[in-house]
Amino acid sequence: MNITLKELKDIYSESCVTIILNTHRTKPDNEKDSITLKNLCKQAEERLLADENKRDAEKLIQRIQKLASQIDHRHNLESLVLFINEDIAEYTRLPIKVEDRVVIDNSFATRDLVRSLHQAANYFILVLSQQKVRVIEAFNDKVVKEYDDSFPMENTQFYSTNKAELSNASRQTSLIAEFYNRVDKEVNKVRKENTLPVLICSEQSNYHEYLKVADQKQGIFDIFLNKNRLDEKAHHIVEDAWEIVKKHLIEKNNDQKQELTKAVSIGKYLSDVNDIHRAIRKGRVQTLFIEEGLFQPGVIEGNTIRFVSEVEHTQKAMTDDIYDELIEVNMKYGGDMVFLPKGDLSDFNGFGAITRY
């Protein structure tokens, strides 16, 4: 996919079609993904023919069919999202489960991309030792790539063979610090191209020594994989790293749930969708909370939202998913988003907001 989430969220035009479906990584399951996509494309085509003039509808249908034919389902992840309007025809694969659906609106449905960013993790692993360093890019529990230009970096300069220096702990620490300083500069060159957090994989002493010289400590996880894994295969390292990162994400979500409970006790919580809608428009909403799988078609009329039935929701004046619309607008105002498992917000009807004031 060449278009970014930020670019997608800024697009408003007639008939933005979003096709969203679960897919599979391996055979034989992924061989059925093309059928699922074909059925959803057919659903989109029927809705376009019902809502648009025939010429415009057929043009969009051709773009949908052309994009769908370009997808190689052998490379599928957990889900697939297609974005089509008169100017754009793009798709992206996501590592999360979704709700199969077709959304046709005046903007693209980006909720699952946002959810992927919150629930999945793209990160670097710095495999660190005093002799050699590797850098691996990971997405959840999968290897994206291992860098092979500036890395692996070997310590061919900052060590000593002199017996006196070898017995001098302070001198040895100084040499290692200089090596780690050079490593850190190369790591930050990589992060300049792709600003991802860094998980260090090393023995505890090396982790703390590296933090002393790191220029961008805020970009380094405050947890680490405590083991010398320098000679192991990248995919083995990533599998163990993901267990640590996944736990970190769960703990972060739990902390945010506590913030929600606290907000209720001090009166900084909203639960009515119209109250939330008006607060978002005033820039008052700090964080939205929503349960996964919660969708609701509706109509936005000025400052008022009216939910509609499944029977009505295909009409062109309707917004396919009110919650997706509120998420997008809130993010434009600098608000945050927390997605929680189904049932976690049962006391709040699945949707709520913490206000800034």
- As separate numbers, helices (DSSP H) first and strands (DSSP E) second, the chain gives 10, 16
Same structural domain for residues 289 and 201? no
Q: Is the same domain home to 88 and 22?
A: yes
Q: How many Å apart are CA 177 and CA 242, to the nearest integer? A: 28
Say whether both 199 and 175 belong to one domain: yes
Take residue 197 and report the two structure tokens written for it.
């957090």
Residue 260 lies in a domain: no
Which range marks the domain in which residue 321 is found?
A: 267-355
In a domain, 178, yes or no: yes
Q: Which of 252, 286, 305 is the last residue of a domain?
A: 252
Considering only the C-alpha atoms of the chain, give the largest distance between any 2 of them, rounded to a whole number of Å.
Answer: 86
Under the banding of pLDDT at 50, 70 and 90, the label for residue 95 is confident
Indicate whether 84 and 17 sit together in one domain: yes
Looking at the structure, do residues 84 and 197 belong to the same domain, yes or no? no
DSSP character at residue 161: -
> Is residue 347, in this structure, part of any structural domain at all?
yes
Least confident of 68-72, 254-258, 279-283: 254-258
The dihedrals phi and psi of 148, each to the nearest 5 degrees, come to: -130, 20
User: Structurally, how many domains does the chain consist of?
Assistant: 3
In this structure, the answer to whether residues 131 and 242 fall within a common structural domain is yes
8 Å CB contact between 277 and 319: no
Specify the 3-state DSSP secondary structure of 349. Answer: coil
Q: Which letter does DSSP use for residue 333 in this model?
A: T
Full-model pTM? 0.66
97 is a domain residue:
yes
Nearest in space to 96 (alpha carbons), one of 58, 66, 141:
141
For residues 225 and 194, membership in a common domain is answered with: yes
At residue 241, the pLDDT reads 96
- The percent of residues above 70 in pLDDT, for the chain, comes to 92
DSSP letter (8 states) at residue 295 = -
Q: Which two tokens stand for residue 193?
A: 């191209």
Same domain, 129 and 105: no
Determine, yes or no, domain membership for 89: yes
Indicate which CATH number applies to the domain containing 58: 3.30.960.10
We report the CATH number of the domain holding residue 316 as 3.30.1330.30
Q: Is residue 307 part of a domain?
A: yes
pLDDT of 77 reads: 86
Strand 198-202 with 153-154, pairing: unpaired
Closest to 184 measured CA to CA, from 160, 236, 157, 192: 192
Beta strand extents in 111-150 (DSSP E only): 122-128, 132-139, 142-146
Residues 203 and 271 reside in one and the same domain: no
* pLDDT value at residue 192: 85
Please tell me the predicted confidence (pLDDT) of residue 48.
Answer: 95
DSSP string for 273-297: HHHHHHHHHTT-EEEEEEETT----
Residues 138 and 230 in one domain: yes
User: 93 and 128, same structural domain?
Assistant: no
Query: Would you say residue 71 has pLDDT above 90?
Result: yes
pLDDT at 279: 96
The pLDDT assigned to 1 comes to: 55
The 10s digit of each residue's pLDDT in 146-203 is 999 889 999 987 665 555 554 555 767 788 999 999 999 999 999 887 778 899 999 9
Q: How confident is the model at residue 63 (pLDDT cuts 50, 70, 90)?
A: very high
Return the C-alpha torsion angle 321, 322, 328, 333, nearest 10: 180
d(Cα 23, Cα 96) in Å, to the nearest integer? 10
Cα(83)–Cα(130) distance, rounded to whole angstroms? Answer: 47
Of 119, 139, 166, the residue at which a domain comes to its end is 119
Within a domain: 261: no
Residue 257 resides in a domain: no
212 and 135 in a single domain? The answer is yes
Q: Report the alpha-carbon distance of residue 313 to residue 339 in Å, rounded.
A: 24
Amino acid at position 77, single letter = L
| DSSP state string for 177-239 | HHHHHHHHHHHHHHHHHS---EEEEE-HHHHHHHHHH-S-GGGEEEEEEES--TTS-HHHHHH
Residue 73 identity (one-letter amino acid): H
Which domain-ending residue is among 72, 103, 119?
119
Residue 219: CA count within 13 A, CB half-sphere: 19
Supply the CATH number for residue 167's domain: 3.30.420.60
**Residue 295 pLDDT > 90:** no
